[in-house]
Structure 1
């Protein structure tokens, strides 16, 4: 578990689900510029930055090739990390094929599962949020196929021009997780991540569960001491999280 203690007047920032590249690189460019502007703003007082997945609408790392584009956001992340500010990246369902490019090129650790962090004495469980909790069996089966090493090895043998084009097509076809369709709050009893958080609380106390994936900004009290936060997205809501002593959902 990583422990973070903020310095005076410093904050921890969280963002998720930018889906850069969707529905087309040209259409997502204004969103990329807006997200880079947010990074420029928060770097002034950031102790650390957490990116909770689906930064890209599609991402695949060949041995020597990564998808073209996204130079503004990658350059800004490199600048922030080089300045000494830690950045933590959690893969989402759209960039789950991320390997070691961020780690080697940007010195940004990449996590494929939710992780515990202690921040200013509060215990956080942080992740993208896909495939957690009950239900969503179709996606869970699909994820097992996509993360199976043999499938990834076979996909890697496609020429990048064909592989990236196929991946982008399949990614945009799923309108809900690409953000092209309004996500609706299902109520606490039907929200899988809420149920997941309640189950985790039977095993251990957490002050905050921080997830993305749902494309809805949510701040839900699970009991008197624990909260589930969903960060929303950068397609419709442009929301992010800020923590110093308390957690706040804000809009940029």
Structure 2
């Protein structure tokens, strides 16, 4: 992709709308919609790197109640011709094809590679990557198995949503959000993951979410690991202007 003059690519992650309740997260949703309104003025594309919702499950004919403003704004931006790319996170890993059919937004369940103005990117949510975190990796395999999704679909949505909200907030093995402080480069699994990826292929920017900590860390020659932070306490986002990548606070 070649970025047009005076255009930029925007990145955001980990909004967790619905946590701890839909009512409590509503001001954050409003803030995010305002941000979308602003960046659409010069956006070449927008990348959402997962956990937009604290929980999301698509029944065959039902999706979670609420989030009308953010969904409507995404639809408006996409209808205007601006590409939006969505990467599934660990809290909305049961997303299927609703975004693709209703909003014309492609949904990715794993990392993707891109090249913008000659700069190479590896982009994803980041959960379950790198060494360690074996308990979550095993849990994710169970949750993403087709039989698990089929079984969960038999729960009435009122029961399913209430159960999911409880697990999302209370069970850190499932949520993957146990550590919210920087652990040092040797103990940050995503940093180790990026360094290993660079042993086989070079990227200028390796952009992820999941950790909820805004970070820009050099992981190789002309290579940076970037974590986008979140929209709970940091309200940070990434912007690439065709030459450099920068983390900003809204």
TM-score tier, shorter chain, comes to: over 0.9
Q: Who is 1:247 aligned against?
A: 245
The unaligned stretches of length 5 or more in structure 1 are: none
**Contact map agreement 1:48 1:85 (CA 8 A) in 2:** yes
Q: Where does 1:1-252 land on structure 2 (aligned, <5 Å)?
A: 4-174=1-171, 183-244=180-241, 245-252=243-250
Distance in structure 1 (CA, Å) of the matches to 2:176 and 2:35: 20
Deviation at 1:165, TM superposition (A): 1.1
Tell me if the contact between 1:177 and 1:213 (Cα under 8 Å) persists in the aligned partners: no
Any idea what SS the aligned residue of 1:30 has? helix
Structure 2 residue runs of 5 or longer lacking an equivalent are none
User: Matched residue of 2:220: which SS?
Assistant: coil
Return closer, same or farther for 1:189/1:180 CA change in 2, 3 Å cut-off. closer
C-alpha displacement at 1:176, in angstroms? 9.2
Give deviations 1:148-192, integer Å, cap 9, x for gaps: 111110000111111111111111114698799771101111110
Normalised TM-score (structure 2)? 0.97
- Partners of 1:200 and 1:181 lie apart in 2 by 25
**Which region of structure 1 is more displaced relative to structure 2, 182-191 or 29-38?**
182-191
SS of 2:158 mapped into structure 1:
helix
CA drift of 1:140 comes to 0.3
SS in 2 for 1:31: helix
1:235–1:175 distance in 2 versus 1, CA, 3 Å? farther
State the secondary structure of the residue aligned to 2:6: coil
In structure 1, what is the Cα distance between the partners aligned to 2:57 and 2:175?
Answer: 16
Q: Distance in 2 between matches of 1:193 and 1:147?
A: 21
Q: CA RMSD in A?
A: 1.5
Taking the aligned partners of 2:134 and 2:94, their CA distance within structure 1 comes to 20
Distance (whole Å) between structure 2 residues aligned to residue 68 and residue 106 of structure 1: 16
- For the 8 Å contact 2:136–2:176, the answer to whether it is kept is no
